[in-house]
Amino acid sequence: MFSYRHAFHAGNHADVLKHTVLLATLDYLKQKDVALTLIDTHAGNGIYRLDGDFAQTSNESASGIQQLIATATNAQEALDPTVARYLDMVRQFNDELSSRTKRLVYPGSPALLQHSMRSQDQLHLFELQPADMRALQGNMEQGPYANHTHVWHEESFKGSLRFLPPPSRRGLVLCDPSYELKTDYQQVSQWLSEALRKFATGTYLIWYPVIPRPEAHELPRKLKAIARQAGRGWLHTTLAIKSGGKPGVQLPGEKVERTGMVASGMVVINPPYILREQLQKALPELVRALGQDHLAAHTLESAEAP
Ligand SMILES: C[S@@+](CC[C@H](N)C(=O)[O-])C[C@H]1O[C@@H](n2cnc3c(N)ncnc32)[C@H](O)[C@@H]1O
């Protein structure tokens, strides 16, 4: 059984990047009235209390959403619209949103999708961890469009493929594994190849950790190659909030400083054409807000369909 619980990490810098890109992409797709099928292959709980035991243990949101709120509250200038849109969604789950807010509720990707969908859309959420699945079910039953929201307690690399292609041939799929298993990296690549074979025009958002592990390093390159082979365009972005570790030579007996994950990335296949321009403006703002040292940075690259 998995030991990963997203409640320990909710609202961290990776969620800020992932959810900002997710909302910007979905907003664009909603410009057409045609029904959308929305799929979250790795859903988690859906909603998190950042003052709860899990979140307090790691306090990762302090360098993510809480830091962004503090910066936004004190900002003299208007916020970038893509960042503001994300913060507005977080605000919808809280009575007030300020740097003094102690009891922050954080919407995970299922809640963001459910609160952004329309009456014509369908939402499919996959979660394997039993306790998280039950929490997800409870949270989604209380949200809007509960009748259009389907929670599946099953393995999603296989399960999600049965919804492709969607009846309207319009869909967004978020693939956000915990990468707890080394095999997840390989599975993501295989899943994307198969998903594109079944539904080449779908918009796919894949999150991955930027960590010193060969599989993680290789993954974006593989995903871009799969998109290229399928004749699809892609966008790739990363956000790092600080340097990955103490530079220099480690002295004998010196304790290695563990920094945790300090950067993550998103690969978007068939991205909206305006996403690059939106992120070009939003990412420097996220770096300014969340950056902790001079190595805080973003990257952004994209390619149109060949
Ligand atoms: C990173 S968390 C998801 C966070 C969520 N997408 C969000 O942004 O709020 C990954 C979740 O996937 C679940 N999981 C892991 N492997 C899975 C699989 N093969 N199928 C379905 N769920 C899985 C884990 O239990 C965990 O809750």
Please state, in angstroms and rounded to a whole number, the distance separating the CA atoms of residues 83 and 152. Answer: 31
Q: Catalytic residue among 15, 40, 121, 176, which?
A: 176
- Catalytic, 33? Answer no
Give the residue, out of 1, 127, 132, 184, with the most ligand 1 atoms within 8 A of its beta carbon, to mutate for a pocket test. 127
Q: Which H or E run contains 237? A: strand 234-240
Interval between CA 118 and ligand 1 midpoint (Å): 24
Ligand 1 atom with least separation from CA of 45 = 27
Q: Which H or E run contains 298? A: strand 297-303
- Is 127 marked as a binding-site residue? yes
Three-state SS letters, 81-109:
HHHHHHHHHHHHCCCCCCCCCCCCEEECH
The packing angle between helices 183-198 and 214-229, to 10°, is 10
Please state, in angstroms and rounded to a whole number, the distance separating the CA atoms of residues 112 and 22. Answer: 9
For position 59, what pLDDT does the model report? 87
Q: Which two tokens stand for residue 189?
A: 């690549």
Please state, in angstroms and rounded to a whole number, the distance separating the CA atoms of residues 62 and 91. Answer: 17
Ligand 1 atom with least separation from CA of 19 = 8
- Is 155 marked as a binding-site residue? yes
Closest CA to ligand 1's atom 27: 44
Interval between CA 177 and ligand 1 midpoint (Å): 5
Please list, residue by residue across 34-64, b when 16 or more beta carbons sit within 10 angstroms of its beta carbon and e when fewer do: ebbbbbbbbbbbbbbbbeeebbeeeebbebb
- Is 98 marked as a binding-site residue? no
Q: Which two tokens stand for residue 46?
A: 């859906």
Per-residue pLDDT of the chain (306 residues; tens, 9 = 90+): 568 898 889 999 999 999 999 999 999 999 999 999 999 999 999 999 988 777 777 789 999 999 999 999 888 888 999 999 999 999 999 977 766 666 899 999 999 999 999 999 999 999 999 999 999 999 999 999 999 999 999 999 999 999 999 999 999 999 999 999 999 999 999 999 999 999 999 999 999 999 999 999 999 999 999 999 999 999 999 999 998 855 445 455 555 555 689 999 999 999 999 999 999 999 999 999 999 999 999 999 999 998
Ligand 1 atom with least separation from CA of 111 = 9
For position 211, what pLDDT does the model report? 95
Ligand 1 atom with least separation from CA of 181 = 16
- Is 153 marked as a binding-site residue? no
Closest CA to ligand 1's atom 8: 109
Closest CA to ligand 1's atom 12: 42
Q: Are 82 and 282 in contact (CB under 8 A)?
A: yes
Interval between CA 4 and ligand 1 midpoint (Å): 8
The alpha carbon of 37 is separated from its chain's Cα centroid by a whole number of angstroms, namely 18
Interval between CA 91 and ligand 1 midpoint (Å): 24
59: three-class secondary structure by DSSP: coil
Interval between CA 254 and ligand 1 midpoint (Å): 36
Domains of the chain: 6-245+257-303 (3.40.50.150)
Ligand 1 is surrounded, with C-beta below 6 A, by 2, 4, 6, 15, 18, 40, 42-44, 108-109, 126-129, 132, 155-157, 176-178
For position 255, what pLDDT does the model report? 53
Three-state SS letters, the chain:
CCCCCHHHCCCCHHHHHHHHHHHHHHHHHCCCCCCCEEEECCCCCCEEECCCHHHHHHCHHHHCHHHHHHHHHHCCCCCCHHHHHHHHHHHHCCCCCCCCCCCCEEECHHHHHHHHCCCCCEEEEECCCHHHHHHHHHHHHCCCCHHHEEEECCCHHHHHHHHCCCCCCCEEEEECCCCCCCHHHHHHHHHHHHHHHHCCCCEEEEEEECCCCHHHHHHHHHHHHHHHHCCCCEEEEEEECCCCCCCCCCCCCCCCCCCCCCEEEEEEECCCCCHHHHHHHHHHHHHHHHCCCCCCEEEEEEECCC
For position 101, what pLDDT does the model report? 64
Interval between CA 291 and ligand 1 midpoint (Å): 26
Which candidate, 11, 7, 5, 97, places its Cα nearest to that of 62?
Answer: 11
